[in-house]
Amino acid sequence: MKVLVTGATGFIGSHTVVELQHAGYDVVGIDNFENSTPNVIKQVEAITGKTFICEQADIRDKKSIHAVLQKHGGIQAVIHFAAYKAVGESVAEPLKYYGNNVAGTVNLLNELQEKDITDLVFSSSCTVYGNVSSDMLPVTEETPLMPAFSPYGNTKQICEEVLRDQSQTGKLRVVSLRYFNPIGAHDSARIGELPIGVPNNLVPFITQTAIGIRKQLTVFGNDYATPDGTCIRDYIHVVDLAKAHVAAIAFLQQRKSADSFSVFNIGTGKGNSVLEAIHSFEKVSGQKLNYTIGPRRAGDVEQIYASCSKAENELKWKAERDLDNCMLTAWNWEKKLAEQKQNA
């Protein structure tokens, strides 16, 4: 079976291509390489030992999607990652986010409809739940959505609505995966997260501080109503997350007459604080991390973690790795990047 993957050389995309190839799927990737590099293609091939066809195409450019679908016949399902994801940037440049994440998705759907491609897995986010109160934890798929905190979050909510509406025409079946906090890297250290510029996210900031690229990590607030005062998140290993996509494709294939729009939380079901994440990193890396406590970051949710029983029951998927493994693989990846820089 042939699967089209958009954003195929990105952080989650590349790990998903590896798991799809391991599971025996044929993959055609597309990426515009704006937030990734073509070198990822070779790395994926080195891991799987298979050819990874990845075309340069942009979802904002209908013609380029059309050309890929013309060239590669027989695509039966799509996993749609391609999107921008920086919360702060989305506040400064909302049109960039609506143009790529929303208009790009609509372009893609038009092309899929033309080719009668009916199965799609969508990259959604726990950000759709907004600022949940602690009595609503863990969040289930039935937890009501709240107005989005940022244009980025809003694009995920809007895309889910677009996909739900399109699924009601009978021309599309959708699984929307609401990711919690994806971190970690492949065990081979050949692929991982490649932030451009100063990382916004916690784990790349931790590993870059430990390797000496950043001077110090600032913990954004320790006066939250949590056991150690720092925010709580549900950190999920990117390889576990990649496997959830393989499970979602199988789910769509097997359940032809099922609901045409399904959402699943994809996390571990366990919340960890920022300090717990730092301590886990220090334990597995043997490095003392230089960090300081700073003020709260605007827009941060105090705590959020998932109920994953729906994914467990229906997708037959469950996260297998723990926080220590996330930190260890993220650290190995950072060390590999440093090694490559030295040899360059």
Question: Which residues, other chains included, contact 94 with Cβ-Cβ below 8 Å and sequence gap of 6+?
Answer: 151
For 4, 26, 134, 188, the CA distances from 71, given in Å and listed in that order, are 12, 15, 50, 32
* Contact between 300 and ligand UD1 per CB under 6 A: yes
CA distance 49 to 331: 24
Return the range that interacts with ligand UD1 (CB under 6 A); candidates 31-39, 54-62, 101-109, 194-202: 194-202
Catalytic residue among 97, 152, 224, 235: 152
Element spanning 78, H or E: strand 75-80
CA distance 90 to 150: 7
CB of 46 to ligand UD1, least distance (A): 28
CB of 300 to ligand UD1, least distance (A): 4
Active site residue 305: no
* Contact between 205 and ligand UD1 per CB under 6 A: yes
What is the rounded end-to-end Cα distance, in angstroms, of the chain?
39
Question: Which residues, other chains included, contact 244 with Cβ-Cβ below 8 Å and sequence gap of 6+?
Answer: 177, 264, 266, 311, 315, 317
What x/- string results for residues 106 through 145 when contact with ligand UD1 is judged by CB under 6 A? -------------------xxx------------------
CA distance 329 to 333: 6
CB of 214 to ligand UD1, least distance (A): 9
From 39, 113, 140, 200, residue interacting with ligand UD1 (rule: CB under 6 A)? 200
Footprint of ligand UD1 on 207-226 (CB under 6 A): 217-220
* Contact between 233 and ligand UD1 per CB under 6 A: yes
From 255, 297, 310, 336, residue interacting with ligand UD1 (rule: CB under 6 A)? 297
* Contact between 202 and ligand UD1 per CB under 6 A: yes
Cβ proximity to ligand UD1: between 166 and 271 the closer is 271
**291: which 2 tokens?**
């960090």
What x/- string results for residues 145 through 184 when contact with ligand UD1 is judged by CB under 6 A? ------------------------------------x---
* Contact between 39 and ligand UD1 per CB under 6 A: no
For 162-229, the DSSP string reads HHHHHHTTTS-EEEEEEE-EEE---TTSSS----SSS--SHHHHHHHHHHTSSS-EEEE-S-SSSTTS
Instruction: Give me the active site residues, please.
Output: 152
